[in-house]
Amino acid sequence: MLMLAAGGEPNPLIPNLGEVIIGLVAFAVLGYALMKLAFPAFERAYAARTEAIEGGLRRAEETQAEARRVLEEYTRQMAEARTEAATIRDDARADAERITEAMRQHAQEESARIVARGEEQLAGQRQYLVAELRREIGQLSVDLAERIVGDSLSGTVARRKTVDRFLAELDDVSGVGPRANA
- Please report whether residue 25 resides in a domain: yes
Q: What is the pLDDT of residue 137?
A: 81
- Please report whether residue 164 resides in a domain: yes
- Please report whether residue 123 resides in a domain: yes
**Weakly modelled stretches of the chain, pLDDT under 50:** 1-2, 179-182
Beta carbons within 8 Å of 14's beta carbon, 6+ residues apart:
2, 3
Q: What is the pLDDT of residue 172?
A: 76
Q: Which residue range forms the structural domain that includes residue 54?
A: 17-174
Using alpha carbons only, give the angle 105, 110, 116 rounded to the nearest 5 degrees.
125
Cβ-based neighbour number of residue 163 at 10 Å:
20
Q: What is the pLDDT of residue 134?
A: 81
- Please report whether residue 28 resides in a domain: yes
Q: What is the pLDDT of residue 1?
A: 46
- Three-state SS for the chain is CCCECCCCCECCCCCCHHHHHHHHHHHHHHHHHHHHHHHHHHHHHHHHHHHHHHHHHHHHHHHHHHHHHHHHHHHHHHHHHHHHHHHHHHHHHHHHHHHHHHHHHHHHHHHHHHHHHHHHHHHHHHHHHHHHHHHHHHHHHHHHHHHHHCCCCCCHHHHHHHHHHHHHHHHHHHCCCHHHHC
* Amino acid identity for residue 179 in this structure: R
Beta carbons within 8 Å of 142's beta carbon, 6+ residues apart:
153, 159, 162, 163
- Please report whether residue 1 resides in a domain: no
The tens digit of pLDDT for each residue in 78-119 reads 999 999 999 999 999 999 999 999 999 999 999 999 999 999
- Please report whether residue 111 resides in a domain: yes
* Structural domains of the chain, count: 1
- Please report whether residue 69 resides in a domain: yes
Q: What is the pLDDT of residue 5?
A: 54
- Please report whether residue 5 resides in a domain: no
